Amino acid sequence: MGMDLYIFKARTRRAFEAEGWYDSPSVTEELYARKWWSLVENCSFIPHDYESGDYIKLTKENFEEMINVACHHTDYWDSYQNVPKLCELRDAFDEATEEGYHYYLEYDW
């Protein structure tokens, strides 16, 4: 089954939830991954009853956990190419939140 996973940065929850969020200047796609089931299945903060299209507001600790999982589980292309990007997002987390941004994880299938 196909699955697309996204991490977005948004100024407000409302901007993220708005229809057409992908056109909003206050929402940016920070990471995209294809069929990264091992990340989803091994992160404790992702609920097992997650519905396609829901989203999860991320904390810095969530990024730490994703990095830990990503270092031990390859992505769809059998690589670790997303580890550096997750590290960059974690490192930028404090400054981004001070500027009023929030990070969200969403995956669809």
CA distances (Å), origin 78, targets 2, 35, 81, 95: 16, 11, 9, 32
pLDDT (average), residues 44-71:
89
Dist. CA 66–CA 60, nearest whole Å: 10
Residue 106, number of CB atoms within 10 A of its CB: 18
> Does residue 45 have a pLDDT over 80?
yes
pLDDT (average), residues 39-68:
89
Q: Which residues contact 42 (CB under 8 A, 6 or more apart)?
A: 69, 73
Domain range summary for the chain, segments of one domain joined by +: 4-108
- Residue reference for tokens 């992908």: 22
Mapping DSSP to helix (H, G, I), strand (E, B) and coil, where does residue 13 land? helix
CATH of span 4-108: 3.30.70
> Does residue 77 have a pLDDT over 80?
no
Mean confidence (pLDDT) of the chain:
86
